[in-house]
A and B are shown apart, each in its own frame.
Chain A
Amino acid sequence: MSAPTPNNSLSQRVKATPGGEHLLMCYSCGTCVSKCMIQEKINPNYNPRRLIREAVFDDTGLAFADDTTWQCTACDLCYPACPQKIHISGVINAVKQAALDAGVKNPAQIAQVDAQTCIACGLCVEVCPYEAINIKVLRVPNRGIIPVADVDAGKCMACGLCSATCKSTSIRQTNEFTDQALMDNLWGYLAKGDLA
C-alpha cells in the first residue's frame, strides 16, 4: 500500500463518506463490540472498535484484511448504543468501499447471477436488504444485449435472500451454500435422524 497522504488517507475518506463523519470521535470504549451479534455468534475475531482504530490510523493493510470490514450486516445494533453517536456500520461501509476501490476482493461468497436464465423480473432487487442488486443492460453470450440482474460485489453480504426468492433459480450462492449443497446437507441430517 502506498503511504497515505492527508487528502486520500483512509480516515479522510471515511470522514467524507456519509455515515463516517464522526470516525475520529471514537473513545474506544468497546460498547459496539459488546453489542455485536456477529462477534458473539459467528466470529470472535470480529471487532468494530479495532476496525475504527485501524481507520483512524490510516492502516489500510490491517483494515482491508480485517474480517470486520467484510462481515458487517449493518444491523445497527451498535449505533444506538454508541455514546459518541458514531454510525459504525456507516464507517465499516466506507472502509469497504475504499477497499474495493483499492482492488481488494470481497472475501464473502457473494451471490452470482446466471445471465443465461435470468428474466430480469426484479424480485431479487426488491428483496435485497443491502440494495446490492440492480437490473442492468448487459451483453450476454447467446442472448444478445438484454436486461439482467447484476450484483454489486461491494454491497452483497451473501445472505442468500435473492437465491431463495428467485423464481427461475438464476441467482445462487457459492460453495457450501448452493441449493444443491444445502439440500444435500438437509438430506444428510434427515438420514441420520437428527431432525426426527
Chain B
Amino acid sequence: MVDAARQPLIQVKTFTEVEKVEGFVGNFKVTLREKAKYVRADRCNGCAACAKVCPVEVPNPFEMNLAPRKAAYIPMSQSVPLIYNIDMDACIHCYKCVEACGALEAIDFSMEDKLVEEEIGAIIVATGFSHFDPSVMSEYGFGRFPNVITAMEMERINNSAGPTNGALIRPSDGKTPKNLAFINCVGSRDKRYIPSCSNFCCMYSIKNAILAKQMHPDTEITVYYIDIRTPSKGYEEFYDRAREMGIRFVQGRPAMITENPDTHNLTVHGEDTMLGQVMSREYDMVMLNQAAIPQPDQNHMSSVLNVAQSPGGWFMEYHPKLRPIDSPTDGIFFAGACQGPKDIPASVAQGSAAASRASRILHSDQWQIEPTVAVVWPEKCLSAQGKTCGMCARACPYGAVDYVQGKAPTIITAKCHGCGGCVAECPTDTITQLHYTDAEILSQIRTLLATEPEKKILALRCHWCSYGGADLAGTSHFEYSANERGIKVMCSARMDSDFVYEAYRLGAGAVLYSGCHQQDCHYITGQIVGAKRATRLQGMFERMGMSPGRFRVEWISAAEGDKYARVINEMQASLDEIGPEKLHDEITRMRPEMAKRITKLPNIPLVQQAFNRADEFQTIMLNEVKAK
C-alpha cells in the first residue's frame, strides 16, 4: 500500500465513492464523491495529536468492535495515506482537536463532500466481500453467549496489534481459554442462508487453530467440519501440520451450542459422523467460521457500473472459464473477492491479471471489437412514433442500447458484442446486425429450402456452441440425416421468430432451434432471450396443431457432437413417422397463417432484393433438377 501511494503515477483516493459511470472502454467518465474528512489532506502529517485529545470514544469496526476508537481517527494503524478523519456522527464539536493541531491548521470543520469528474480508460473493481452475521442462526447462540465469537473477532484477538495485544483471552472473563472449538461452514453450504462454499474458511480455521496452538501449546483445539477443502499448493501440508500439532478434527456439523450460565462455558452438541455417535463436549470458547457474502452495497455498485451479478450476488465475469477477470462491459475488470469468494493468493493473481488486462487498453490508441454490431434505422422505431416499447434495451445483456422513451434507440457501438438479441426482439425490425442482417439470413433460408423443402430439416445454430457441436459431429464422423441444412447466427438470441415463420411458409419439414446451454452462453443472458422466444414459439405451434417433432428446441454445447447427430436423427425419424401426405397437408394448412405473420418482412431494407436473388437461384436449381 505504501509503495503504491509513493508511485508518482498512482493516485490513491480514500473515503471516496463512485457515484456514476458513463461512457465506454477507454473513455469512461466517472463521477466520484470525495467525502469530507474534515481534515485537510495537504496539511495533516498523521501525528495523532487530535486523536489523543478527542474525548469521544466509539466502537472500532476495524477491531470488530472489540476496542474503542476516537471520533478523530484513522481506520487502521497502517492506513495509507496517513490522514486523520473526523467522524461527524460521533463528534461533539468540542474543538479540542483544532487546538491540539495548532499551527498546522489541518482540521477544517467547513469541509463538504466534493463531486469530481474524471476521465478514466479502464476500471478495476476490487470491492472485496463481507461476512455473514451468525446471530441469525440461533442454535449457535452468537450474540447471546459471550464466548461464542466469529472468525474475524478471533483474527483480531490473535493479532499482536489487535485489541488484546495478541493475548488469547475469552470475552466473558478475560481468562485464557484452555479448550477451544472451531466450527466451519457457519451459514455457508447451507440452503437456508448461503448455499455456496466460501472457499477459504477451511484454511483460515486451520490457520487460526495453528496460531492459537503455537501461542499456547497446552490449549486443546477441536475443529468441527463437514468437509475439509485444501485444494491449493501447500494447503494439504498445512492441514497435516495442524494434525501433527495435536489439533483434533471432527467430521460433523454441530446442531447446537448451549451455555453454562455460571461459568459461561459452552457445550457443543454434534455427531462425530466417523463414530456415528453424538458427542456433547464442553469448551471455554467457540469460534464460528462464518460465510463470505457480497458487500452490502454490491447491488448498488452493480447498477452504477452496469455489470451483472451471478446467483449469490457476486459480480459476474464475462465467462467463468475463459474470461474470469473481465466484466461483460469492456474496460471494466474484477480483482479479488468481489467476483466470488477467494483467498489471498487467488486475489493477488487476479489483481495482477486485471492490471495487465487494463494496461492493454491504456496503451492502445484504437480498440478492436467484433464487426457484428447492431445498427438502427431510426425512422421505423415504435418509440420514435411515440409508443412505449424498449424491447431492444431489455434484450441487451451489455447495456449497449441507449433507450429513451420517445426517441429511437442508439447503440453504443463500443459496448455492443453482437449477439443480435435486440435485432430479433424489435417488433418493427428497426435494428439489424452487420454481417447477420435479416436480408442475409432470410435469403440463406430461401436458398437452402429451394428444392423439396418438406424433406429438409432447417437447423438454426449459434456460433459458439451448437455450430461447434454440429462441426464436432462432422469431424467425429457421427452419421446424421443428410436432409439437415444449417444456418449460423451469433447467438440463439438472434434467431428471430420471422426466420422460423418464413421457413415454415416455404414448406420446411422441420426446424431445429439450437444454442448454448444457459450456463455456457457467450453473451451472458443471450440464451435466456432466445430460450424465452423458443418456448413462446413452441407453445404457439402446438396450439396451431403442428405435429410434434417438427419444431424442436435443443441446447447443444460444442462438445456434444453426438447429441447434435442424435437430435437431427430423431427429427428425421419423426418426419418419417408423420409421412409425406400428412406433412404436405399440414404445411398447406399452416402456410397462410405463417404468411400472415411475416407480411412486414419485405419492408426491411434489402430483404426484397435478397428474396429476388434467392428466387432467381431457385429457378436455376429447379431447371437443373428438371434437366437431370
- Interface residues of A, Cβ cutoff 8 Å to B: 27-36, 39-40, 44, 47, 49-50, 80-81, 83-85
Contacts and interface: CB of A to CB of B under 8 A. Distances in A.
B325 interface: no
Nearest to A78: B255
B273 A49 contact: yes
A35 to B, nearest CB: 4
B278 A33 contact: yes
A40 to B, nearest CB: 7
Nearest to A83: B190
Contacts of A44: 277
B273 A29 contact: yes
B253 A30 contact: yes
15 contacts: A29-B273, A30-B251, A30-B273, A31-B253, A31-B255, A32-B255, A33-B271, A33-B278, A36-B278, A44-B277, A47-B271, A50-B276, A81-B139, A83-B226, A85-B192
Nearest to A25: B191
A28 B255 contact: no
Contact of B191 (A29, A30, A32, A85): A85
A39 B273 contact: no
* 7 tightest A-B CB contacts, nearest first: A30-B271, A29-B253, A34-B255, A83-B190, A30-B252, A33-B271, A35-B255
B189 A34 contact: no
Nearest to A50: B276
Interface residues of B, number: 22
B515 interface: no
Interface in B136-178: 139
B449 interface: no
A34 B270 contact: yes
Interface of B: 139, 185, 189-192, 226-227, 251-256, 269-273, 276-278
B256 A35 contact: yes
A30 B270 contact: yes
A33 B256 CA distance: 11
A47 B276 contact: yes
Contact of A83 (B192, B251, B252): B192
B226 to A, nearest CB: 4
Contact of A29 (B192, B252, B256): B252
Nearest to A48: B271
Contacts of B277: 44
A176 B383 CA distance: 83
A34 B256 contact: yes
B278 A40 contact: yes
A141 to B, nearest CB: 48
Nearest to A28: B273
Contacts of B276: 33, 47, 49-50
B271 A34 contact: yes
Nearest to B137: A81
Given A30-B253, A33-B278, A83 B273 contact: no
A19 B523 CA distance: 38
A42 to B, nearest CB: 13
